[in-house]
Amino acid sequence: MRGVSIIGIGQTEVREHWERSLRELAVASITAALDDAGVDRADALYVGNMLSGELTGQEHLATLIADFAGLQGIEALKVEAACGSGGAAVRIGYLAVASGLHDLVIVTGVEKMTDCESDLVTEALAMAGDGDYEAMQGLSFVALNALLMRRYMHEYGVSHEDFAGFSINAHRNAVRNPYAMFHRPITWEEFRSARMISDPINLLDSSPVGDGAATVVLCPEEKAKKFCPTPVTIIASATATDTIALHDRDDPLFLQAAHESAQKAYLQAGVSPEDIEIFELHDAFTIMAALSLEACGFADKGRGVELAKDGEISLEGKIPISTMGGLKGRGHPVGATGVYQIVELVQQLRGKAGANQVESHLGMAQSIGGTGATAITHILQGPN
């Protein structure tokens, strides 16, 4: 195995892109990333995407995108792991380069969600759980997370308001990210009184769906300087799974797969949670932010919310999260999100995060599929 570096990044704004199609979004981010890397060709393209078939009527997606990106002929495959599809595609790209099979790999995450009516999107997102035994009972994906949040509040004696800090922090950081969906800060009062979706989860606990695409270009670490003066190195890549359904877990409040993939990543990188300076976590809902912090060793069980209350997750805090807005503020084009996280970490580690810059050398990203059923963790190291 050899080291893998990121030599190019590209992204589109996350929003309702009525004027741009799925393929156009993907191609725009690929073109930007190839220009950033200073290359015009690669050995392979891996596309993270969850719902192109369901919402756009388009499968065989990676081949379509390779075709329209001017990459005809190359290996092109779609990678799917529900909301973790983007992280999963990065994982496959990493394996391809680390193994020595490919020298130059493009990883793109893309999702197009706003062409459909919202009840169809809600139905499609529920496919991240167990179709026969969760979705068929009428549970939306939000409802599955709401079951976790209610139980968390019950077991640890915390209130809904205790989660406010996660959404307030995410929105504050999104304001200064030009690619983010939301550019408006929110207040504690707005959080408290937002419209209920699936109680106790309200609109401001929830990340918004959106359209968007993000791309990274990977190459072997030893060749990275040839392409890029500030290559960022992937020093750990690890994946783990848990039961697909919440009801099959011994302790639904502990994200076992998130824990295991983080532990494997720490071991590979030779670091511990205290060494991580930025954590781009999967804050699809405020409860997931709290559970991710706990699973990855940044807080004890039941104490994840305290990091939000004490401001430790802010840009100046002990463990900054969602530094460019996270899923909540940047937006959550589901299959693209895991690649956005990596792109944003690269911006940070290159020192190019603008007003949201965190002085940092080590950052971690974790992409989660379903209610914690798949977790993909990457640790990135900045240029020396």
Partner 1 sequence: MARKKRKVKSMSLARHWRLQDERYKLIGRECAACGKKLFPTRDICPHCGSRDLKPYRFAGRGEIYSYSTIYQPPAGYEGFVPYTVALIRLDEGPLITAQLTDVDREGVEIGQRVEMVTRRLREYGPEGLIVYGYKFRPVLKG
* Residues 237, 342: Cα–Cα separation, whole Å: 12
The only residue of 147, 158, 305, 373 in contact with partner 1, by rule CB under 8 A: 147
The residue written with tokens 């963790």 in the block is 377
Q: Give me the catalytic one of 83, 219, 228, 296.
A: 83
The only residue of 86, 165, 231, 252 in contact with partner 1, by rule CB under 8 A: 252
**Selected range binding partner 1 among 16-24, 40-48, 68-76, 244-252, rule: CB under 8 A:** 244-252
154 is a catalytic site residue: no
CB of 320 to partner 1, least distance (A): 31
Q: Is 157 a binder of partner 1 (CB under 8 A)?
A: no
CB of 195 to partner 1, least distance (A): 8
Three-state DSSP at 335 gives helix
Q: Give me the catalytic one of 17, 171, 282, 332.
A: 332
228 is a catalytic site residue: no
Q: Is 16 a binder of partner 1 (CB under 8 A)?
A: no
The only residue of 43, 123, 221, 306 in contact with partner 1, by rule CB under 8 A: 123
How many chain residues touch partner 1 (CB under 8 A)? 40
Nearer to partner 1, 60 or 225 (CB): 60
Q: What is the DSSP letter of 52?
A: I
The token duo for 349 is 């580690």
The H or E element containing residue 201 is: strand 201-202
Please report which residue ranges of the chain form alpha helices under DSSP H: 22-37, 61-68, 85-98, 118-125, 141-156, 164-174, 188-193, 224-227, 256-269, 286-295, 304-309, 326-330, 334-349
List, in order, residues 6 or more apart from 31 with CB less than 8 Å away.
10, 69
The answer to whether 207 and 145 have CB atoms below 8 angstroms apart is no
Q: Is 118 a binder of partner 1 (CB under 8 A)?
A: yes
Query: Closest Cα partner for 252 from 133, 372, 377?
Result: 372
Please list every residue from 168 through 227 that binds partner 1, using CB under 8 A: 195-201
The only residue of 143, 255, 315, 353 in contact with partner 1, by rule CB under 8 A: 143
The token duo for 281 is 């976590």
Nearer to partner 1, 77 or 127 (CB): 127
- What does the H/E/C string look like for 303-317? CHHHHHHCCCCCCCC
Q: Is 316 a binder of partner 1 (CB under 8 A)?
A: no
> Residue numbers of the site for partner 1 (CB under 8 A)?
57, 116-120, 122-123, 126, 130, 132-140, 142-143, 146-148, 150-151, 154, 195-201, 243, 245-248, 252
Catalytic residues: 83, 332
